[in-house]
């Protein structure tokens, strides 16, 4: 088909011009945007979703898996990240590698994620009340409890209820049975038993049996960065479901700015660009921002106006502030026996035994018993020069005795960690890029040290020859972007209210980890999904 004006110059025949005034405009087609769009389209509303990146053909996932395991490809090439579109800046104590684990496109970063899904602990919502640090959320665990259950059903979670004695209370079983412990989990279990450390299973958003018209896990082992079978949940599930319910999804349509009405009380238009250089104006009654913890504050800052000179929805001055992440703590080496690592691409066991042992100088952390230490047989073969019998001999001698532990440590939200605009660098549309100002802080370092100490005890008990450690100074982020449009009951203390609506704008909601007040030390996607469902309910009430 020839390239036309309406398809934005892509040549795929998809109409990228604006719709008539919609009931809801959702910005972002990741898990939050997909869930919001599905919920509201199913309720009969006219929904338009604007996504900055492309649609990825599901039939190409085997090819993308090959890109992931072949050393000739850069990791960014798996999901086509990089270039002017994804340019960013990083300042502060530590550089922040923003593009290392995000995906722009329909499905968002769930195309790349590992798939672990936890509910935050009750204490994570009450850090100021319980421990005198950070701030309390303006909602409690019980407020999200029904949404957590709904999110587990929507994503499809395999887990073992009651097996984790440190988890928050729940009333229902998981939708699917949990995955069994891996072989190396059994090795860790011996050491943990000797040290009285409790191991338990990990709930995963991947099918342990057929679920929601998707097959059970096929064991490719490349879950991060790509699941070829579709057994691991990604947001295309809900985006496509929303489309079947009548929602319209416009890809390759990065929103450039939001424009409000004369009074500054409501958004009127999302202005988005298409690849041909044209701009289009999407009108809607309600707007939901679901583009993640970096791009949402960036968009609000890019939408500054006479009424909002500091950025849209930024009367508090807190848009972009309180950026925080989870920090990685790890340790590993070799064992003098086979470990069978790197056959399983996801975690099957963890320990949250020390999670709630918060002190004056450190926060929560969890311990992970990794299943992917050392190169896999495929990576070993592709990375060397041997073939045939020589390769088999090398594999027998060098593969299979690596073993490692990981963990996530909490980083307390601090105002001096933030996302701003860097006007010295622009994207492919001439807009200032996001600048991530990031530093660790001593409390976070202490938390990582505590995690490393526990890891060292367990590996020593197991008899591991430790050869590497990721500790306080060498740590890196888990790429969980939280806190940049934080929730608050007081308009001066945050950006959105407990219903996820911005304090300043009556028809603008935010569904994202950017609304987190405190992210604890547990993977955030289930909480993102729960908040997205809560947000959709409140938008429905207003419509």
> Parallel, antiparallel, or unpaired for β 89-91 and 432-437?
parallel
Give CA–CA dist 51/29, Å, rounded: 6
> Parallel, antiparallel, or unpaired for β 89-91 and 158-159?
unpaired
Beta bridge partners of 529: none
Q: Which residue in 280, 324, 480, 503 is the catalytic one?
A: 480
* Segment (H or E) for 462: helix 442-462
Cβ contact 270:256 at 8 Å? no
Q: To the nearest 5 percent, what fractions of the chain are helix, strand and coil? A: 30, 20, 50
Q: Which residues of 464-490 are buried (b: 16+ CB within 10 A; e: fewer)?
A: bebeebbbbeebebbbbbbbbbbbbee
Other residues' Cβ atoms within 10 Å of the Cβ of residue 383? 11
**Who's near 120: CB < 8 A, 6+ residues apart?**
141, 144, 168, 519, 520, 522, 527
Q: What is the SS3 assignment for 58?
A: helix
- 480 as an active site residue: the answer is yes
Give, in order, the Cα–Cα distances in Å from 471 to each of 93, 325, 350: 16, 16, 19
Q: Which residues are catalytic?
A: 480
């Amino acid at each position: 088909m020839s390239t036309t004006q309406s398809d934005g110059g892509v040549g795929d025949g998809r109409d990228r011009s604006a719709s008539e005034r919609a009931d809801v405009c959702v910005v972002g087609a990741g898990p939050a945007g997909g869930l919001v769009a599905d919920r509201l389209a199913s309720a009969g509303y006219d929904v338009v979703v604007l996504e900055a990146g492309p649609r990825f053909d599901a039939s190409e996932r085997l090819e993308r898996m090959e890109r992931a395991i072949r050393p000739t490809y850069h990791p960014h090439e798996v999901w086509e990240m990089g270039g002017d579109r994804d340019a960013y800046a990083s300042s502060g104590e530590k550089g922040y590698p923003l593009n290392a684990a995000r995906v722009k496109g329909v499905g968002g970063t769930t195309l790349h994620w590992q798939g672990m899904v936890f509910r935050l602990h009750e204490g994570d919502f009450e850090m100021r009340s319980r421990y005198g640090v950070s701030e309390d959320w303006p909602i409690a665990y019980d407020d999200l409890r029904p949404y957590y259950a709904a999110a587990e059903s929507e994503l499809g979670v395999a887990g073992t209820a009651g097996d984790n004695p440190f988890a928050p209370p729940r009333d229902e079983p998981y939708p699917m049975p949990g995955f069994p412990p891996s072989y190396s989990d059994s090795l860790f279990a011996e050491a943990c038993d000797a040290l009285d450390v409790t191991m338990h299973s990990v709930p995963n958003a991947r099918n342990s049996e057929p679920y929601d018209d998707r097959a059970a896990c096929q064991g490719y082992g490349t879950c991060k960065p790509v699941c070829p079978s579709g057994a691991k949940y990604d947001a295309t599930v809900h985006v496509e479901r929303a489309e079947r319910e009548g929602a319209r999804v416009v890809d390759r349509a990065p929103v450039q700015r939001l424009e409000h009405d004369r009074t500054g009380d409501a958004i009127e238009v999302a202005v988005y660009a298409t690849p041909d250089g044209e701009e289009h104006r999407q009108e809607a009654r309600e707007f939901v921002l679901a583009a993640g913890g970096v791009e949402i504050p960036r968009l609000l800052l890019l939408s500054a106006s006479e009424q909002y000179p500091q950025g849209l929805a930024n009367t508090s001055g807190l848009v972009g502030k309180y950026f925080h992440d989870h920090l990685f703590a790890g340790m590993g080496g070799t064992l003098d026996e086979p470990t069978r690592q790197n056959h399983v691409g996801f975690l099957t066991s963890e320990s949250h035994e020390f999670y709630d042992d918060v002190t004056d100088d450190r926060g929560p952390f969890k311990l992970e018993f990794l299943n992917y230490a050392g190169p896999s047989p495929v990576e070993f073969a592709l990375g060397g020069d041997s073939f045939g019998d020589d390769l088999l001999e090398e594999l027998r001698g060098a593969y299979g005795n690596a073993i490692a532990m990981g963990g996530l440590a909490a980083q307390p939200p601090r105002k001096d960690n933030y996302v701003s605009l860097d006007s010295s660098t622009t994207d492919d549309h001439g807009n200032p890029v996001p600048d991530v100002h990031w530093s660790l802080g001593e409390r976070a370092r202490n938390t990582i040290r505590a995690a490393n100490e526990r890891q060292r005890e367990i590996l020593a008990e197991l008899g591991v020859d430790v050869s590497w450690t990721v500790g306080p100074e060498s740590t890196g982020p888990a790429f969980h972007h939280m806190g940049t449009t934080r929730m608050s009951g007081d308009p001066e203390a945050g950006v959105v209210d407990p219903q996820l609506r911005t304090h300043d704008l009556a028809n603008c909601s935010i569904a994202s980890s950017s609304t987190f007040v405190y992210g604890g030390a547990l993977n955030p996607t289930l909480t993102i999904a729960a908040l997205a469902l809560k947000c959709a309910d409140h938008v429905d009430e207003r419509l």
